[in-house]
A and B are shown apart, each in its own frame.
Chain A
């Protein structure tokens, strides 16, 4: 009995230890974002301090963060929307006609290094006068979102019995009609998973936006990065900016926790 109690205690110590290591950078970032510059550079680091909102005020008033926030949302939203438009029929076809090669072909876009596409895009988009345009950014972010959509949705469609649309087709419906009227309405959870995950990846993307966007279409990660070089020693402002950029992705994750886990582990685990 005693031994079991000891094991249980050790187990919970381990769990709490792991949780603290995972959480600590977030907590430190959050705490620093409410500290004055004096508190941040004080040595030893201060655990107790009187919180201030001035960092957030500075970030949102002096920088046009709202605009960058909007840009990130527009680019992510459009990229995910168009990816669903292209990806859902493709995923359905991959699932129903077992087009494994096609699945691999689209998955390659997720695996290959983005920079080997980015350099040619830079040349082409410059020639077409599309630098700093939403078109270029949305297209590039679609290459992030589309493989995620296709991968998650083809796995999801595999789990929907073929009999469902086949019985509708016996009744005279075309396959495309059965797809729209029967399969898609059943695909809510899969679509939520694909949408959440691909939006988060687009939201977090740095490299594509760093090259293809300038002042007009600048997204949040670029704004935060520029803010660091511009306000080198303003750690409080930098941390407030870091909180602002992470908050939406973390809130989405909390709301759709189950779906995000499924999406991230799907594919590596059979089924």
Chain B
């Protein structure tokens, strides 16, 4: 009896404690360890003991063109992918936001890309993009257009990867915005209609402003995930051709698990972590601003 009273009095600490310890051990400690390693020149393959070199690894990595390109690529991949997904996602949500025959089927279809294994999605698109037997070039040829190089060429690899990301994740924005639209009250729309507003005016000045917080949250969530895109790039190009599709995440992975330069890879991971962390702060701010 006394023991259970003890548990009850401290429930607010004891109930979440195992989860807190778990996250601290598997997330906080590793992040701190990565930060620590970024000030060393540790290389697993050299056999030399770990030694501090201050900001040596930072200087080394930050001055490397390959790294600067990877940062730029990470941002441009994320920016264009999420921009297209946001426009398409909201547009599709607005189209589907009414009662119609087959709505539940349409919503089920939208779910499928979201649960499809990304590695396998990448492989299927590799078959599409194959220069000689792929469907993508067949379509272009049938339309009388010049054939594309898709992922086999440095100029077209990033747009081709963006297309895959757009196919897979646009539905995420659509479903979130649809759920947001479903929760809106009818009154402002009715009022605008009574006042003689056109459908377009209602959309632009009533509906969209009302779901804006939901759209923003969906977009930032996508932004955070797009910055970390790994599976499709790794499976489709491995960062190639050359380094043409190497993002920070891919570069960090290669430095860690192919070159085993732990000190330098830690610098890359710290930079990626900070970028994602700043975006996450954005979403927290937004959530507390809208009082959720």
Contact = CB atoms under 8 A, between A and B. Distances in A.
A270 B180 CA distance: 8
B218 A26 contact: no
Given A18-B106, A264-B175, A111 B11 contact: no
Interface in B100-132: 100, 102, 104-121, 123-128, 132
Interface residues of B, number: 94
A109 B4 contact: no
A249 B120 CA distance: 12
Interface string B257-276: 10000100110011011001
B107 A261 contact: yes
Contacts of B92: 18
Interface string A111-143: 111111111111110000000000000011011
A224 B119 contact: yes
Contact of A250 (B4, B27, B115, B135): B115
B34 interface: yes
B95 interface: yes
Interface stretch (B75-83, B147-155, B186-194, B226-234): B226-234
B106 A15 contact: yes
Contacts of A42: 133
Given A22-B109, A246-B117, A28 B128 contact: yes
Contacts of A261: 107, 111, 175, 179
A21 B26 CA distance: 40
Nearest to A254: B108
B49 interface: no
A90 interface: yes
A156 interface: no
Contacts, number: 273
B18 A89 contact: yes
Interface in B154-200: 167, 171-172, 175-176, 178-180, 183
A260 B119 contact: no
A130 B161 CA distance: 35
Interface of A: 11-12, 14-15, 18-19, 21-23, 25-26, 28-29, 32, 40-45, 85-87, 89-90, 92-94, 97, 99, 102, 104-106, 108-109, 111-124, 139-140, 142-143, 146, 150, 174-177, 200, 203-204, 206-207, 211, 220-221, 224-225, 228, 235, 238-239, 241-242, 245-246, 249-250, 252-254, 257, 260-261, 264-265, 268-271
26 contacts: A19-B105, A23-B112, A25-B167, A41-B132, A44-B138, A45-B135, A86-B18, A86-B19, A89-B19, A106-B23, A109-B23, A109-B26, A112-B273, A116-B30, A122-B256, A146-B19, A176-B11, A200-B115, A204-B116, A206-B119, A239-B124, A239-B127, A249-B117, A253-B115, A268-B179, A268-B217
Given A106-B19, A228-B123, A264-B111, 14 more contacts: A19-B106, A90-B19, A111-B280, A115-B253, A115-B269, A119-B262, A143-B23, A146-B22, A204-B115, A207-B230, A221-B120, A225-B123, A265-B175, A268-B218
Interface of B: 4-5, 7-8, 11-12, 15-16, 18-20, 22-23, 26-27, 29-31, 33-34, 37, 92, 95-96, 100, 102, 104-121, 123-128, 132-133, 135, 138, 142, 167, 171-172, 175-176, 178-180, 183, 214, 217-218, 221, 224, 227-228, 230-231, 234-235, 249, 252-253, 256-257, 262, 265-266, 269-270, 272-273, 276-277, 280, 283-284, 290, 292
